[in-house]
Structure 1
Amino acid sequence: MKTVKLILALLLVVIPLTVPVLAQDAATLTVSFPGDPRSETVNALIEGFIAMKADQGQPVNIVINEPTEGYGDQLLLDFGAGVGPDVFSISAETIPEYVASDLIMPLDDLVAAWDEWDNFPQGMKDMPSMNGSVYAIMYNTDTRVLFYRSDVLEAAGITLPFAPTSWEEIFAAAEQIKANVPDVIPMEVESGTIWGEGTTMDGFFMLFRGANGNFLDPEDGKWIVESPALLDAFSFYERMFGEGYSAAEPFMEPEPWVFWLQEGLANGDVGMAVVVNVVWGLYAPEGPWAIENRDEVLSWTPMPAREPGAGINGLDYVSMGGGWGWAISNATENAELAWEFVQYMTSADAITTYTAGVGGIPSRLDAAVDDPHVAAIVEQVMPYQSFRPLSADYTRVSEQIQIATEKIMLGEATAQEAMEQFAAAVEGIVGADNVKRLPLD
């Protein structure tokens, strides 16, 4: 009898140790991003996150939504129907709409405790921030520089490499091209309404920031509709077209980028162009806008401020960037896992993988870059990166910028008149109480 009791006692001790542990239920996370050529790389990274969590004994089920068309519209429809994702990819300029609708989670407390946040340059921290809060972690960006045809500038008698430190030096080069290579249009800065946001982002802001221009007063949030910087930017357009350094007619074509970039800069019919850096890849010998000897005839340099120290925040050079980041829904029921996902997708390794697979500029300073062009951009241009103001009214204000540049381009308004008309239009959009005018002297 004692033997039986002893066996039973031993069984009571042993059995709990030999019963298999039930597998932990998989947590579910819904993720949305555009279903375009980027999605192959994004899906591979997501598989890496799933594998990492499995290795940690924390299985994860990722439900992916990647619409191939109308991503932004579909995302808002999903949120409106109450089926929005936990985590979503967002283009930085659309953040105000999500903030206004209370759809996006502020990440301030999370980034404050994140020891990798300092690996993002200030521009990448500021771009997804609004009203003092961070709403996304950027994973990719682009930038703008001054491209130039080395062969054209050399023929014009300009010393190479061309490295202007002021607008005056750019105009001096344009004058030499005009005088010595008359078959070439000296320069292009995107202008007019047909180029749309390209005019604002790639053209106007590269000048406006170069004159220390800021649209939203950081103290009161009002739109600054008249300022010395705004007048300087519009005056650049007035001089460029007025002195024959550029041409208005091609900007009125249905696809002006074909004339100026796909053909003009590619064929050496345009001397200089302020444009997004990704055209470098388009001009590759195997690219869609191929220049067979690209590396011999095409070069670039950072865009200078109006003069040294005159740029935004006292900088000598300027650039503008857009980009995409990962954001978390305000309605998520799994915020901790969502933040883990965002951290993984914006890690140095993930951003290195994304940049290698998709292109663009990495948002982190510690991401590895194999492409010499991208590496040079990161080193020479990213420190000067600026971005569009985050405001629900931005799109309509941007349209007024495009109209103003077109009026100057067509000789329908001087720089001063264009600024006054712009000021009146923006006041009509946002209200008289939400604008201010700075002294011009």
Structure 2
Amino acid sequence: MREDSFLISSDVTAGYLAPLDDYINSWPDYKQQWFPSMQKITTFNNKNYGIMDGTDVRGIWYNKDIFQKAGLPTDWQPKTWADILTAARTIKAKVPGVVPINLYSGIPMDEASTMQGFEMLLYGTKDPLYNYDTNKWIASSKGFQDALDFVKQVYSSSSLLGPTNDIALNTQAANTVGQQLLPQGKLAIDIDGSWLPGSWQKGGAAEWPAWQKTLGVAKMPTQNGEDPQYVTLSGGWAYSISANSKHKSDAFNIIKTAFNKDNLAFYDVKASQITPRKDVAEVADYKNLPLSDFFTGLVAVTQFRPGFPAYPKISVEIDRAMQNVMQGQSSSDAMNAFYNAVKSIAGDDKVEKRG
């Protein structure tokens, strides 16, 4: 069964998936070669339920031509959130006719708003979304409010830095950004995923031979440059085994064969995936992929969404809070509404506040 890693916990809770630990323990490749983060992402209640076939990471794409016109460095690497906003405001002032920055936000873009947008901010603060020590959701915190304030600054109606609502609050925003605004030189900064070049390659949805010359990439900084200085998140897909299968051992042998070094290298190259295997990262065809070293280097330090059944519903409430501040609500009111929504979803005893 091919599983979206972010739904593994829900499917385990529903009784659909078999634990793989006994099989993994007899397969040395897994513990030796899969990045620890890629092992953790498929673990729920201390058991492993999937083998990642590829992953993704997130960072900042920026148009070097626009930066040059704005008098900004073309080897840009922001160290704080303030650096990002300063660059966007400089572009707005000096390069009219382009969108300074895209940050996915609001309900229509669903998980892209949560993961590419909000969590790339929140995970750069000292306040995470989930407290693994207390087993509670942190539904109210300074970091959460600061992240909403960043969204508010991007989408302020009086000094708009992001796309207009007809683009931002549209289910096709990702296609508009990746296949139109970026290739057409109409967007300066895009906080987005490692998969974008798939659309620009020959045969892709928006062929763009000049993208490697035009675009730069930067790591997403933490809020004020605190350690570890940069942040990224990963998702991706895994192969799992049905809890009802009568041939679990045979199924795992298929996974082992499909995911050996050569086969997984072939797949990750063809599918434009960031590899979860350390040794695949050294395969020539993989290393020759544009930016493979940059993006693969982020896997070792990546984070991911809390793997609990309540998360998909909580994610929608994050999107709602983002959309509320886009439309003028204060960050404190939006966060309070989020806090009450999470209590309804997870239960009063599973939610906490941080000062």
The TM-score with structure 1 as length reference comes to: 0.74
Cross-structure match for 2:222: 305
Distance 1:211 1:307 in 2: 8
Q: What RMSD, in angstroms, separates the aligned Cα atoms of the two structures?
A: 1.9
The reply on whether 1:397 has 2:310 as its aligned counterpart is no
Cross-structure match for 2:4: 91
The reply on whether 1:245 has 2:158 as its aligned counterpart is no
The reply on whether 1:360 has 2:282 as its aligned counterpart is no
Provide, for residues 149-189 of structure 1, a one-character-per-residue CA deviation record: whole Å limited to 9, x for no partner.
11001100011211112212111211210111122221010
Choose which of 251, 254, 257 in structure 2 pairs with 1:344: 257
Letter in 2 for 1:415: S
Give runs of aligned pairs for residues 119-138 of structure 1, distance below 5 A: 119-138=33-52
Secondary structure of the 2:131 match is coil
Secondary structure of the 1:407 match is helix
The reply on whether 1:278 has 2:195 as its aligned counterpart is yes
Secondary structure of the 2:28 match is coil
The reply on whether 1:325 has 2:238 as its aligned counterpart is yes
Q: Contact 2:57–2:295 at 8 Å: present in 1 too? A: no
Q: Contact 2:99–2:162 at 8 Å: present in 1 too? A: yes
- Pairwise CA distance, 1:108: 2.9
Stretch deviating more after TM superposition (88-97 or 108-117): 108-117
Distance 1:241 1:377, change over 3 A: same
Identity of aligned residues (%): 25
Aligned length: 347
Distance 1:270 1:105 in 2: 45
Provide, for residues 58-111 of structure 1, a one-character-per-residue CA deviation record: whole Å limited to 9, x for no partner.
xxxxxxxxxxxxxxxxxxxxxxxxxxxxxx221111212221122222223443
Cross-structure match for 2:174: 257
Secondary structure of the 1:210 match is coil
Q: Contact 2:122–2:129 at 8 Å: present in 1 too? A: no
Which runs of no fewer than 5 residues in structure 2 stay unpaired? none
Secondary structure of the 1:267 match is coil
Give runs of aligned pairs for residues 2-17 of structure 1, distance below 5 A: none
Secondary structure of the 2:180 match is helix
Provide, for residues 287-331 of structure 1, a one-character-per-residue CA deviation record: whole Å limited to 9, x for no partner.
32233422221221221221333xxxx422111221111212233
Give runs of aligned pairs for residues 99-248 of structure 1, distance below 5 A: 99-116=12-29, 117-242=31-156, 243-248=159-164
Larger RCO (alpha carbons 8 Å, 6+ apart): 2
Distance 1:282 1:258 in 2: 9
Distance 1:173 1:397 in 2: 32
- Pairwise CA distance, 1:220: 3.2
Distance 1:291 1:329 in 2: 41
Cross-structure match for 2:344: 428
The reply on whether 1:416 has 2:332 as its aligned counterpart is yes
Secondary structure of the 2:138 match is strand
- Pairwise CA distance, 1:370: 4.0
Distance 1:380 1:160 in 2: 21
Letter in 2 for 1:401: I
Distance 1:94 1:327 in 2: 12
Stretch deviating more after TM superposition (199-208 or 382-391): 382-391
Secondary structure of the 2:65 match is helix
Secondary structure of the 2:8 match is helix
Distance 1:320 1:435, change over 3 A: same
Distance 2:238 2:288 in 1: 22
Distance 1:159 1:319 in 2: 23
Secondary structure of the 2:75 match is coil
Cross-structure match for 2:228: 315
- Pairwise CA distance, 1:416: 1.6
The TM-score with structure 2 as length reference comes to: 0.91
Q: Contact 1:107–1:134 at 8 Å: present in 2 too? A: yes
Provide, for residues 241-266 of structure 1, a one-character-per-residue CA deviation record: whole Å limited to 9, x for no partner.
23432244221345223443322122
Distance 1:380 1:295 in 2: 19
Distance 1:437 1:396 in 2: 19
The reply on whether 1:387 has 2:304 as its aligned counterpart is yes
Distance 2:146 2:256 in 1: 41
Secondary structure of the 1:233 match is helix
Q: Contact 2:139–2:352 at 8 Å: present in 1 too? A: yes
Distance 1:363 1:374, change over 3 A: farther
